């Protein structure tokens, strides 16, 4: 069985159960209007977060985060309660491939996130909306 259809999705490991419960409702609602989505990022280690932080600073690419993973932690990292408090999602195109195209209804996703009491799109120290990102309040 391909890993992306496994009943145990490793992207869900150690994500706060309240966040998983809410994200499942959101993904079901998006699927119901024919816009399937998937979780791309759950918990990140400090090393993975630091690699993201290096993008646009110490290696090529656009800056995508201000959390360096060590001095400044992302909500994707395990918190004191033992869980990650953030998830990133993307859409699936008609071939089932992940897509971040702005032609997909990100606004509907954002509104659903807020409707279930989550914070959506917040990127620290930035006015840019981080469309895939959702986290516990
Ligand atoms: Zn995120």
How does pLDDT run across 84-110, given as a tens digit for each residue? Answer: 999 999 999 999 999 999 999 999 999
Cα-to-centroid distance, 41 and ligand 1 (Å): 7
Cα-to-centroid distance, 2 and ligand 1 (Å): 25
Please report the pLDDT score of residue 125 as a whole number.
Answer: 60
Q: 10: which residues sit within 8 A by CB, 6+ positions away?
A: 3, 42
The structure tokens listed for 27 are 């993904």
pTM over 0.85: yes
| Ligand 1 ion local residues (Cβ < 5 A) | 86, 88, 133
The per-residue pLDDT for range 2-30, each reduced to its tens digit, is 445 556 789 999 999 999 999 999 999 99
Q: How far is CA 38 from CA 46, 54, 59, 68, 109, in A?
A: 23, 25, 28, 25, 12
Cα-to-centroid distance, 53 and ligand 1 (Å): 12
């Amino acid at each position: 069985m391909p890993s992306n259809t496994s009943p145990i999705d490793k992207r869900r490991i150690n994500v706060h159960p309240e966040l998983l419960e809410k994200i499942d409702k959101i993904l079901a609602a998006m699927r119901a209007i024919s816009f399937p989505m998937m979780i791309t990022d759950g918990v990140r280690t400090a090393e993975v977060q630091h690699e993201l932080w290096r993008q646009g600073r110490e290696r090529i690419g656009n800056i995508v985060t201000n959390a360096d993973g060590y001095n400044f932690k992302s909500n994707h990292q395990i918190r004191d309660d033992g869980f990650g408090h953030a998830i990133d999602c993307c859409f699936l195109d008609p071939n089932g491939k992940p897509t971040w195209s702005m032609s997909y209804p990100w606004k509907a996703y954002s509104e659903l996130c807020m409707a279930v009491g989550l914070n959506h799109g917040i990127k620290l120290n930035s006015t840019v909306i981080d469309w895939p990102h959702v986290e516990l309040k």
